[in-house]
Amino acid sequence: MVTYPINVRRDGYRGSDPKKRAKVNQINAVASKLEACINDMLKNQEEPIRVYSYHEIASKSGIDYQTVRRLGFSIDAGSGGFTAVKVGLSFEQAMEMAQRGSQQGAAGA
């Protein structure tokens, strides 16, 4: 599980090839946009624990799915997305709140 803020890995190419450097700069700019979008989603998360799919993130960010999936892998090594804990909660607090919520939901059914 991840917590706010997340970091999307950047490429650190520092070589002299201008074409490679331009491509890396473009990819790193997309990574920055993706990171900002995801961190905004995490800041606004209301559930104690929530799963974010790369499809959802691609839709919200306007970045194509394959790029989100490739760059997003560095967040939590998930192939389809990642699970996040609400800002300000520890993993234990989030688990406890989620269990209470599911028990209340089961009791009301």
Q: What is the DSSP string of 51-82?
A: EEEHHHHHHHHT--HHHHHHHHHHHH--SSEE
CA–CA separation, 61 and 33 (whole Å): 8
In this structure, are residues 57 and 78 in contact, taking their beta carbons and an 8 Å threshold?
A: no
- Give percent of the chain with pLDDT exceeding 70: 95
| Overall average pLDDT of the 77-96 stretch | 94
pLDDT at 35 over 60: yes
Residue that the structure tokens 């059914």 belong to: 109
Cα 78 from Cα 20, distance rounded (Å): 27
Q: What is the mean pLDDT of the chain?
A: 93
Structure confidence at residue 48 (pLDDT): 97
DSSP conformational letter for 51: E
* CB-count burial class (<10 Å; 0-12, 13-18, 19+) for 94: buried
In the prediction, which pLDDT does 106 show?
60
Give residue 79's pLDDT.
Answer: 86
pLDDT band at 108 (very low <50, low <70, confident <90, very high): low
pTM strictly above 0.95: no
